[in-house]
Amino acid sequence: MRMKTVVDKVRVVYRIDGLRGVIAKAAGAPIAQASARRDFRRYSEWYANHLIFVAGLPKSGSTWLASMLASLPGFVDRTPSVWAASMLTDFSQDLSDDIFAEFRRQLVVVKGHTRGTEDNVAVLDRLGAPYLVLLRDPRDQLISSYWYLRNRPKHRRHHLVAGRTLDEYIKTRLVDGSFDDQILAWIRLWAHNRSELALIARYEDLVDSPAEGLQSIFRHLGFSVAASSVGEIVERHSFRNTTGRLPGDEDVSAFARKGQPGEWEEVFGVEERELFARIGEDVIESGGWKPTQEM
């Protein structure tokens, strides 16, 4: 058995596998599947586990994290067909014991807005592989969701922002119960039900120390990845390299709009702080974020 070590050849593998991925996508799903199985034969002995599951809320940085994880040689980012084939709400990506069966003999990153219900956690426990739960300060997530929906008129939730300013959107979500029922409840569920197989990662920590944070994630997954390879992955997926802008340089029309945590401190006024503190300060405290009322 070869040692499960990702050797320091990421740059070369990027070139080879990146070109193969472009060709496979252009040729369609059958060739993409064949390519994934070929890569499994080539790389599977490098890794302790062959499926990486990431749970994250919309606009929490989970797309960024999944992309970095899928940069490991041989890994691809996939969505279970049962999710892709149906009209989904943001939080209905539940799990079943056979949901990952289509990814046998593939190295796969699966990212979902999956809730931390007892049933979903039990599925992951039976799978037996370490998994990740990515959290972002819910106050920043609330702001980010406004700009995301505003720029997508065809999105099923666009009506929530239509004709509303950012301040109006924030106050509405905090008062009508939807933010508590969806976003805060999602975080509470994972905090309460996660098993020892889960690693809770924070978006803010990944932004502040991406190489250190990513290496910690790899260790949790049982992967041995050279520091130089981690640095290569982080650099390739940095805000600057993926957007052409520096963190904090805002483009309100972009998916990666600003790339800088803590925006809520500039946006939330006294009323917004009071409204949030009434419903979500337990989440802020358990997540280790700055208290809402602290000026």
Tens-digit pLDDT profile for residues 147-204? 999 989 998 889 999 999 999 999 999 999 999 999 999 999 999 999 999 999 999 9
**pLDDT cut 70: percent of the chain above it:** 81
Using DSSP, state whether 76 is helix, strand or coil.
Answer: strand
Q: Which residue has the higher pLDDT, 65 or 157?
A: 65
pLDDT surpasses 90 at 288:
yes
Closest CA to 259 of 158, 176, 140: 140
Task: Please report which confidence band the pLDDT of residue 5 belongs to, taking 50, 70 and 90 as the band edges.
Answer: low
pLDDT of res. 239: 73
Cα separation, 232 vs 238, in Å, equals 10
Candidate ranges 16-30, 251-265, 272-286; pick with highest mean pLDDT: 272-286
- Evaluated on CA atoms 174, 179, 185, 186, the torsion sign reads negative
Beta bridge partners of residue 78, listed in sequence order? 110
pLDDT of res. 105: 93
Cα separation, 293 vs 98, in Å, equals 45
User: Helix, strand, coil shares of the chain as percentages rounded to 5?
Assistant: 55, 10, 35
Tell me the average pLDDT across 66-91: 84
Task: Please report which confidence band the pLDDT of residue 85 belongs to, taking 50, 70 and 90 as the band edges.
Answer: low
Query: How many other CB atoms are found less than 10 A from the CB of residue 188?
Result: 16
pLDDT of res. 253: 52
In the block, residue with structure tokens 């809520």: 264
pLDDT of res. 25: 43
Cα separation, 111 vs 225, in Å, equals 21
Candidate ranges 90-94, 161-165, 252-256; pick with highest mean pLDDT: 161-165
Query: Which domains can be identified in the chain, with CATH numbers?
Result: 5-287 (3.40.50.300)
Q: Which residue has the higher pLDDT, 247 or 80?
A: 80
Beta bridge partners of residue 108, listed in sequence order? 51, 76
Which amino acid appears at position 221 of this protein? L
- For 258-275, the pLDDT digits (tens) are 667 999 999 999 999 999
pLDDT surpasses 60 at 19:
no
pLDDT surpasses 60 at 28:
no
pLDDT surpasses 60 at 7:
no
pLDDT of res. 247: 61
pLDDT surpasses 50 at 250:
yes
In the block, residue with structure tokens 């390299």: 241
